[in-house]
A and B are shown apart, each in its own frame.
Chain A
């Protein structure tokens, strides 16, 4: 390794270290580690408890959950959640009859609106629950989706 290369490399390392250091110091409300434990749980109530510490969800019309009544293909079930509740910290989607009820979680910043959409797999007909966390309270909406062909089989 010649001198020029050495200098270049050490400068790059320094830059990487600084950026990384900067990220570590900055407080980040939205960032959290992938919650392996919650994703592994196979019981709905336990799954909700592992996310929030309790399973006290208050069902409200302020959370709008848009899912199909009947999904022909359980491998692709579109889910849309919309809420007017202020200060949404997170939105979680649970599927009661899936092997692991927690399907996905969305941590929002103060710049985000309470709107998310995705597509999930469902093994069989089940209740789908959208839970919205705001100011320490959990608001929810739920709806049953009928599955004609399951999306988790081999």
Chain B
């Protein structure tokens, strides 16, 4: 299962993309209550949004973005566009998903 969920809908030439990503978004400032150790930072740093292989948005996130982050953006496009989202975190993990605009 992908870590990404995308809903992309077109209306009057604008495509609204709504995405949810499953990720802990750990700030690095919290401590484990049992051991007292700091929980290391683990968060998504970059999300790239493409429409039909053309980049429309590059997002830079810091640790202050909520757990299981949500992202919305809007671009000029049409039904059937292939919207692709790719995320990359500070540990080098990544995932990507392509979804068709409805």
Contacts and interface: CB of A to CB of B under 8 A. Distances in A.
B52 to A, nearest CB: 10
A113 B30 contact: no
Contacts of B33: 154
B65 A103 contact: yes
Given A104-B59, A105-B60, A111 B77 contact: yes
Interface residues of A, number: 39
Interface of A: 28, 30-32, 34-35, 39, 75-78, 80, 95, 98-100, 102-109, 111-113, 115-122, 151-154
Interface residues of B, number: 35
Interface of B is mostly: strand
A120 B71 CA distance: 11
A127 to B, nearest CB: 14
Given A31-B58, A118-B71, A113 B64 contact: no
Contacts of A117: 70-73
The 3 closest A-B CB pairs, nearest first, are: A117-B72, A119-B66, A113-B74
Contacts of A151: 66
B14 A106 contact: no
B75 A30 contact: no
A104 B64 contact: yes
